[in-house]
Structures are given as structure tokens and as C-alpha cells.
Amino acid sequence: MGKFIIKRVLSAIVTIFLVATITFFLMFLVPGGPFLSEKAPSAETLAALEAKYGLDQPVPVQYVNYMERLIHGDLGTSLKKRGLEVNDIIATGFPVSAKVGGIAIAGAVLIGVPLGSVAALNRGKPLDNIIMVVATCGIAVPSFVMATVLMVTFGVQLGWLPTMGLSGPLSYIMPCIALAFYPTAYISRLMRSSMLDVLGQDYMRTARAKGLSQFVMLFKHALRNAILPVVTYLGPLLAYTLTGSFVIEKIFTIPGLGSEFIGSITSRDYPLIMGTTIFLAFLIIMMNVIVDIVYKLIDPRIKLK
Amino acid sequence: MSNQPLLNIEHLRLSFFTPAGEVKALNDVSFQLEQGDVLGIVGESGSGKSVTAYSIMGLTAYPGRIVGGEIHFNGHEIHKMTEKEMRSIRGKEVSIIFQDPMTSLNPVYTIGNQICEVIRLHTNKTKEQAHARAVELLSLVGINEPERRLKQYPHELSGGMRQRVMIAIALACEPKLLIADEPTTALDVTIQAQILELMMELKKKIGMSIIMITHDLGVVSNMCDKIAVMYAGKIVEYGTADDIFYNPQHEYTRGLLTSIPKLNATEHERLVPIEGQPVDLLNPPAGCPFAPRCKSCMKICLREMPPYTHFSEDHYSACWLTQKKEFEARKGGDRT
């Protein structure tokens, strides 16, 4: 276990270094710059600004400077949000996105897993068909459609729920539902197929031959085996969802990290692009390590290497 | 109760209701099993041998359903019991060992967990008592270092070991009847002999009856008191091991016997396979199901199901040929 963690930390450092490097050079390949907007500043102003942020230096030099700061944990200062440290932007945006995303994923698991299991147990019967039709819709309908429909119905027409910002518990409902819809549908489909597979396994027949009740068979013998694919899916899903969804955050005006992520790219806010990308990479790596460990805890056959 | 056989199956009919139609898996199966006896059920794949055994435990999976007949086991009327009632006898009064020990144990729980589970389900033993019983069971089935093995997971054990664990689970509550569904098919030959020997030894110790399902006639020959030969969901011949091996009456039994390789065969002696395909149980023929593949098929065989001809108290077969012989013998006897 200890050896496994050391190995994964080392490989994580290499991965983050590579992600940072590739992002850095790709970023400068994209035409445009942070200070070019509709009203182009004068050449002198531009030169002064570029000199101030070190953008006048050759790209490799900038790269070395950036990496030096990165090693010290400094992600730099935003070029567009004057005076704001990228570290601070992430520190304020991430908790907001993570809260919405966390609730959404918790909901997706708590609803998707039982739903998929119920569908598998009722294979071919009407209940299974209904669940699968809904799940297919959930996969097919994009989150922005879902969000808009929710907003128009419950926010505008009925006026039950607030449509903007995160002002209270009620305001979490719509963004979380919109965000959770796809993963819920995906998890229930995943769960259904893995549950069907597990239910047909020989050890389930053994469990039945022992005289175990349906409840014990399902919750002790089947669920633990069937949930493995869901755990695998949860790793990257958590990383992407916790860092926020651009679409959902825009629609519901949530000050999360997701909008910063996309916004930084369109505005060529170089340090912010780097910062959010590296943060996401870090989160994905971490989630994958956690998934591997959880996997090992669920299935003793897995060897952590 | 005392003079009743442990297991009495009468005219059992069981069908699988598939989208393609009713598949008649069992067609009027009857047999008895006395306490302490070993019955071998042989036949090719799809002949209904496993289904017969599973029906005793109520394990015939959906869409299989008993459509007629009765199963009396140890004072229970199995054919009338609900799923909940069945649960109380499964693993307690009747247990089963499956074909493939590699997949029959749940990979995510320890051996100990899986053995103790069945002990605690059917007895009032505490955790510690169940653990002690599990240790006892593992030594009973010949596993060394039982304490250590109990903490291991199935993937850490060999196939033979896992089958021993399956036997330990099956015997945990000292069942009256043990069903062994091709228990050695998935094991290599040296392990096969060990497992069979172990089963016979345990049978003597515990005094249970065994139903041995197999397509290996070698296995049944030295283990079983009685043998039932099944074909197309029907017992076509039933008798003692001696009856079946030295005096087979049904063409199918003869065919099975000639298709086994013999060690003392001369080099030029060839194995004789049974030609043709097993019958389609979706549309079973009106007559004898074996007729299309039978070398001695007569007209009546295609039209009518043959009744059983009894040669002795426990040797009978269902074939028109033996009916004919018996009829002629009786006629000849009348003349003199």
C-alpha cells in the first residue's frame, strides 16, 4: 500500500509536469492575447502591459519562469481580473462548484444505483422498460436543455424556485438536478448491465442454494460485485463535476470554477488557463488514486501496484 | 415416516416457458432415494439431469416451472412449497455442490465469511461457535491450516481446494441429501479422484444420501448404489450399477457404454459414438425420444411412448424392444 502511494505520487508529478508543459505551449499557439479586445489598446499601452506581465519575453523563457513559480505552488496572477491571484480564484470558485457537484453526484449514485438494480431485477418487465426509457432520455438530453426546461417550469412559470445564484438551500435544487441528470441515467444503465451480469453468476446460484433471503443475496452478494463499474466511472466523473460545469454555472449564474475555466480560455487569461487546467489534472489524478484504493477495498482480487 | 423413502419423486413434469414456446425439460420423471443411498444420474447435456436435481431444491430458474407431479423430500411436499418455505430447507436439509468451483464462490468475501454465513443462517450458533464449526468443517474436508484458510479469499485457493470449500459449505448443517452436480468435471483428473473419495468418506461419516449428476460413467460405476439414465427429460433406464454396466437394456444405455474409452481395448478397437442429435424438447416426438437415433428402431417407437419394462425390483427401462421380448417370452411360456 505504501509503495503504491509513493509510486502514484511520483507518476502524478510527472503527469502534472507534462500537462503543464503541453498546455503552456498550446496556449501560446492560439492567436490573440489577453489585452486584445474590441477596443484595441494603443501599441504603447500594449507593450507596457506585456512588459509588466513578462509576456514580452520569448515563450521558452516565460515557460521556465512559470515552471519555477509553479514548483513553489504559485499559479501567478490573473491578467484579466486585476490583482487577483489564480490561487485565490480557485480557492473561492472550487468550493462553490464542488458543493453543487458533490450534491449532484451523491444524488446520482443514491438514485442511479438502486434504479439500475431494480431494472435488472425486473428485467424485461414494464418497470425495467420504463426505467431504461427514462435513463436513455437522461443520456440523450443535454444538460443545458434540462436546465432551461427546469428553469422555465419551476423558476418562471410556477415560481417555486429561485433562478439565479446560490442564495439558500432552495437555490441548489435546480442546478443539482440539471447536473445530476446525466450521471444518474448513466449510472443506472451501468448498474443495470453489471447487475444482470452478476445475477447470472454461479456464486449467486450458490447464495440461493444456501437458503439466503432475497435481501441478503442482493445487498451482500450482488451489490458489492456489481458496483465496481460504477466506482470506475465515478473517478473521472467526480473530478469533472466537482470542478464545475460551465453550462450549468452560466445558466444559473453560479460563481463557480467551471465558468472561470472556460472564461479564461476565451479571454486568453494565460495564468488562469494554466491554473485551472493543472488543478483539474491534479484532481483527476487524485480521484483515480482514490478509485483504485476503493476498488481494492471492494474487490480483494485487485492488486495495487 | 420411517418406512418412507427420503426422497420420492412422482411423475414430475417441468417446463421452461420461453418466448419460443414450452420446452418440456422433464417428462414424467419418477424415482425414489433411500436414506444413505447414492444415486447417479447420467445422460448427455440437456437430458434433464441437472433440472431434476435443481427441482428438489426449488432452484429451477425462471422461466422454469413444475407443471405436474410431486416431490416428497424428508417430510416436505416440495412441489407445494413457497420460495420462503424452500429457503428454510435449502442449505440445511438439502445442499448442492456445483460443477465449477472457480466461479461458485463469491470472489469478494473470505472463505470463512461464506462458510459461517450458512451456519449462522440455519442454526442459532454465535459468531464464535460458527467460526469453530467452520474450522472443524475445513479439517473435515481435508484442508490444512483451516484457521489461515478461513481468512483467505477464493482466488487465493486452487480449484480442488475451492471444491473442498464448496463441500464444506454444503455439509455445514449436516444435510440429509447432498446433490453433486458434476462436481469433478472442472477439475483435473488427480483432483477428481480425491474429491470423489472425500465425498464417499463424508457420506459414511454423516450418513447422508447423495445424488450424483454426471456424464462420466466411470464416476458413477464405483460410487453409486443406483443409476438413472436420462434422455430427453425422461428416465430411460434405472437399475443398480451392476444392472446398468453388465446388463443394460435400453439402446441408449448401451450406446453410452460403448462410447467410453476402455484401458484394455486393443489398438484397433474404435469408440462407437451415438449418431445423431439430441431431441428438440420444444417439439418432442410422440414416440420414444431416442427412436430417431436408435439402431433398432421399430414402427411403434415413432408413434407411442414405451412403458417401463421391469427386469427386477429396481431394474427397469423404457423401450419397446424389451416390451416385445417380454411379450414373446410370455407367449412362449403360455404355449408350453
Q: What is the pLDDT of residues B282-316, one digit of tens each?
A: 877 788 888 888 888 888 888 888 888 888 888 99
The pTM for the full model equals: 0.82
Q: What cell does B135 get?
A: 474450522
For residue A97, the one-letter residue type is S
The pLDDT assigned to B1 comes to 46
Lateral strand order in the sheet of B315-318? B94-97, B177-181, B209-214, B38-42, B226-231, B234-240, B315-318, B308-312
Residues 38-97 of B with CB under 8 A from A: 57, 59, 86-92, 95-96
**How far is residue B124's CA from residue B206's CA, in Å, rounded to a whole number?**
20
Alpha-carbon dihedral B322, B328, B329, B334, rounded to 10 degrees: 150
Alpha-carbon dihedral B45, B46, B52, B55, rounded to 10 degrees: 120
Confidence of residue B113 (pLDDT cuts 50, 70, 90): very high
The pLDDT assigned to B133 comes to 93
- B57 with A203: Cβ contact below 8 A: no
Of A209, A220, A301, the CB nearest to B57: A209
Could you give the 3-state DSSP secondary structure of residue B157? coil
Task: Give the residue among A143, A109, A155 at the shortest CA–CA distance from A258.
Answer: A143
Asked if B120 reaches chain A (Cβ–Cβ under 8 Å), the answer is: no
Whether residue A58 has a cis bond before it, omega within 30° of 0? no
Q: What is the pLDDT of residues A48-68, one digit of tens each?
A: 888 887 788 888 888 888 888
CA B239 vs CA B34, B141, B259: distances in Å = 14, 30, 19
Confidence of residue B226 (pLDDT cuts 50, 70, 90): very high
Residue of B nearest to A201 (CA): B103
3-state helix, strand, coil in chain B (%, to 5): 40, 25, 40
Residues 226-285 of B with CB under 8 A from A: none
Instruction: Write out the residues of chain A at the interface with chain B, using a CB-CB cutoff of 8 A.
Output: 201-203, 205-213, 220-221, 224-225, 298-301
Q: Going by DSSP bridges, is the β-strand pair B21-33/B177-181 parallel, antiparallel, or unpaired?
A: unpaired
Superfamily of A86-298 according to CATH: MetI-like (1.10.3720.10)
Of B88, B92, B153, the CB nearest to A300: B153
Angle between helix A59-71 and helix A2-29 axes, rounded to 10 deg: 150
In this prediction the ipTM stands at: 0.85
Confidence of residue A231 (pLDDT cuts 50, 70, 90): very high
